[in-house]
């Protein structure tokens, strides 16, 4: 089981670390935007781009190839990944109405990770503690998926706050 941390360096950038080693960064182009870039520690870049009516779907792209997409559903955020020409579907949901924990489950309802948000009042931004399961740790692109899940959680919180 992995223990990851995502710290907001400002309201637009998040560093993802494992054992104090930087894995990658989620970089928003501007505050309160769904456009973002993922920069892995090896220098590989990916784009997160909103699509559809009211930016209802977000796609993760490696140049022009869509690697993953997600959209808000009634039960949470539905994530479809297309890594290695295999389609997998996941659900990221809030673990209770007033909870600060998000849970990622697969189609068999197996829990893959728990991400707990930690709001920093002094900085007005979020940090995250993420605990993964052995099943998640076996994924090929787990670090890229983790950074995308951070974007999903930020997307979720932005949608919920703007609806309230």
Residues β-bridged to residue 126: 119
How do the domains of the chain map onto residue ranges?
3-163
Which residue has better confidence, 63 or 67?
67
Residues β-bridged to residue 92: 77, 104
Rounded to 5 degrees, φ, ψ at 30 are -155, 160
- pTM for the complete prediction? 0.90
pLDDT band at 93 (very low <50, low <70, confident <90, very high): very high
Q: Is 89 exposed, middle or buried (0-12, 13-18, 19+ CB in 10 A)?
A: exposed
CATH ID of 3-163, from 2.40.160, 3.30.43, 2.60.40, 2.30.42 = 2.40.160
How much is the average pLDDT of 128-143? Answer: 94
């Amino acid at each position: 089981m992995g223990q990851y941390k995502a710290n907001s360096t400002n309201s637009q950038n998040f560093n993802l670390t494992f054992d104090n080693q930087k894995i990658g960064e989620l970089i928003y182009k501007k505050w309160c935007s769904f456009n973002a870039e993922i920069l892995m520690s090896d220098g590989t870049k990916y784009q997160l781009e909103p699509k559809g009516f009211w930016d209802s779907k977000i796609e993760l792209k490696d140049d022009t190839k869509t690697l993953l997409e997600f959209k808000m559903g009634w039960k949470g955020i539905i994530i479809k990944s297309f890594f290695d020409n295999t389609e997998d579907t996941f659900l990221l949901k809030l673990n209770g109405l007033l909870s600060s924990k998000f849970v990622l489950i697969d189609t068999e309802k197996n829990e893959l990770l728990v991400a707990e948000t930690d709001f920093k009042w002094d900085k007005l931004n979020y940090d995250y503690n993420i605990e993964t399961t052995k099943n998640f740790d076996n994924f090929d692109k787990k670090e890229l998926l983790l950074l995308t899940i951070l974007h999903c959680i930020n997307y979720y919180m932005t949608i919920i706050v703007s609806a309230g």
